[in-house]
Structures are given as C-alpha cells and as structure tokens.
Amino acid sequence: MSSSPRAFTLSDFDFELPESLIAQHPTPERSASRLLDGRAAPSVHRIFRELPELLDAGDLLVFNDTRVLKARLFGEKASGGKLELLIERVLEGGQVVAHMRVSKKPLPGARIHMCGGLRAGGFDALLLGRWPDENGPLFRFELQGPAGETPYELMERHGHLPLPPYIERQQSEGNDPDAAEDSQRYQTVFADKPGAVAAPTAALHFDEAVLARLAERGVERASVTLHVGAGTFQPVKTENLAEHQMHSEWYDIPFATLAALERCRQRGGRVIAVGTTTVRTLESWAKSGNIQGDTNIFITPGFEFQVVDMLVTNFHLPKSTLMMLVSALAGYEQVMSLYQQAIAHHYRFFSYGDSMLLERQR
C-alpha cells in the first residue's frame, strides 16, 4: 500500500540565513554572479555566464519582460502630515491602486499633495476609496498632474524605485547615493512593459553577451509579462498552507510565445522558465486556459506542472511562497539541500544575489 503524500507546513520552509549573505548591491557585471547547478547530485558551482553551455539547441527560455515602475512616492496631507505611496497598479482614467504608509489615514475625498503638490511642480492625488472593495487593503487614487500627464509619466518624473525591504537603503525621502546604480541594475536588459513594483530578479543576471551566446547555441527566446506586486514580499503567516491567501498579479502571454511553446514541444525541447514569476504565468495559463488576466496561483509541493521543465531562479526568503514553488518543482529535499550548500559556500541571497538552475522532478 502506497504512503500518502507528505503534508507540508510553513515551518518546513524555514532555514537560518546569516545576514551577511543578503546581497545589498549587484555584482560588478550581471553575468559574473554565481550559478549553483542543482539539476542533479552532486551539484556543481558555476558562474552565470556558463549557462548557455548547459542548455541545448531547441530549448526555449521564457523571460518576464515586465518593467519596474518608479512607484515609490512621497507627499503630505493638507494638515502637513507626511505620507508615502507605493503604486501597485495603474487603472483607467488616470487612476492608480496603491499601498499607503501614513500615521493617520485620510478619508475618501482627501487631496494629497505629492512631491510638493500641483502648485509646486509636483502633482495631487485624490483619494477615492479602498480597493478592490470597501474593505480592501489597498487604496484607489486619481492622480492629477500638469498638462494631463499619465500616471506612468508622473512616476517616472517624481518617483523612486521601490527596492525590496531587505536592501537597507533608500528608506526615507531624500538623496540616495545608489540611485543611479539601482535604476540600471534593478531592471532587466530586456525590461519592456511597465507595471511592476519588484524586478523579476532571476533575469537580472542576463546580459547581451549571454543572450548572444544562447542564440548561437540555437536556444530560442520568448517572453511573458507578469507585473510583480508588493505581495511578493508578504510573509506567509499561517502554519497550515491551505489557509494562506495568495496575492493576485496581472499577466499576459503573447500569441508569439504560445507558438514558441508549441514549436518547442514538437521538436522535443525543454521549456526553461527564467524566474518564479514566469513559472506562475505559464502554469496559470495551463491551469485556466486564459492567456491574460489576474492570477493568485499558489504552487506548493504536490502541484502538477504542465509547462515548465527547468527553472533559473535566485535564492529566496525563508518561509516564502517562492521557497514552496521551487520545492514543488525540484523536490523539497533537493531544494533544502541546495540551500544549505549555498549558505556553506557563501552564495549571495535575494534580489541582487546569485542564482541556481533546477530541473523538474519526474
């Protein structure tokens, strides 16, 4: 009689990580980061620029082409109280959905003066209410700038890149000596569709030289879009994983990518997802049949993958949904072993950290 699958809990995905291994800056060159090849035991320690030699002609690499918005904005209420917005999503008609950090939340109808306000070269934000409903955790604003500027234009002119909370700088309004570095390195070289508040970090390791080498080897490229939301950093708070409410993010899969996936299957190639956001996008489509929309897919061990064969990914936070996803793909024991190896060999963790290559367990 076969044993029932193991029931995982939140504690299963915890591990001790020295703070010194949390990368605060990127490597001098994108492809100079380290790559832990964890497809089989024993794992192999490599440099990321070696990735093309690990793939075969006919394989398909799928990237997330989202672009990180300068979505962090500072302002003040009419009373003079300081306020910070993190814009999560742009809606129609100049409206946005945002997280709001303020000591006392204003009421609907309040006008917030952002970056000095409309009269001082900034813009105003009119609070319309909560989102997605009257009890929702986010807030809906109408942005009012000069000459009818769009929310994207206002963010580009006045905003700051919303770095992850574990990168210990840019914590308050003012000059940031690392802003120039982050504006370049916290975007992928192929970032295209604006809408994310966090980078698809596994793709940060790719540079033009690596992309050219992949093309020379006959590895095909395709892209999807998933606008990464701030929910990606939210901790899981329930020990019982079934009780966790997964955040929702918007995705889109172009017809050209669907065609590339079909060609890859027909020739017997492998689909290699670059980053967990790409995995979530592809598997959301496979599960729902929708090539565009919102997804709150929660991938944990026991999930049946339909599209992704391999994964390029960074090292993730303990007890995170991303740890659960990579464990579902490559196997829990394998992933936990790889993390201990990475810690022992002083790999760099999280957004500006190193990467690993995983294969789906069969």
Percent of the chain with pLDDT over 90: 85
Mean of the per-residue pLDDT values of the chain? 94
Give the separation between CA 144 and CA 74, rounded to whole angstroms. 15
| Maximum pairwise Cα distance, the chain | 75
Give the separation between CA 234 and CA 232, rounded to whole angstroms. 6
Average pLDDT over residues 20-38: 97
Q: Where are the domains of the chain?
A: 10-68+182-359, 72-159
- In this prediction the pTM is 0.94
pLDDT tens-digit readout, 220-260: 999 999 999 988 888 899 999 999 999 899 999 999 999 99
Q: Read off the tokens for 18.
A: 């020295």
So what CATH class is 10-68+182-359? alpha beta
Q: Read off the tokens for 275.
A: 């980053």
pLDDT over 90 at 16, yes or no: yes
- Say yes or no: do domains 10-68+182-359 and 72-159 share a fold: no
pLDDT tens-digit readout, 126-176: 999 999 998 888 999 999 998 879 999 999 999 999 999 899 875 555 556
Q: The CATH number of 72-159 is which of 3.40.630.30, 2.40.50.140, 2.40.10.240, 3.20.20.70?
A: 2.40.10.240
Residue 4 pLDDT class (50, 70, 90 cuts): low
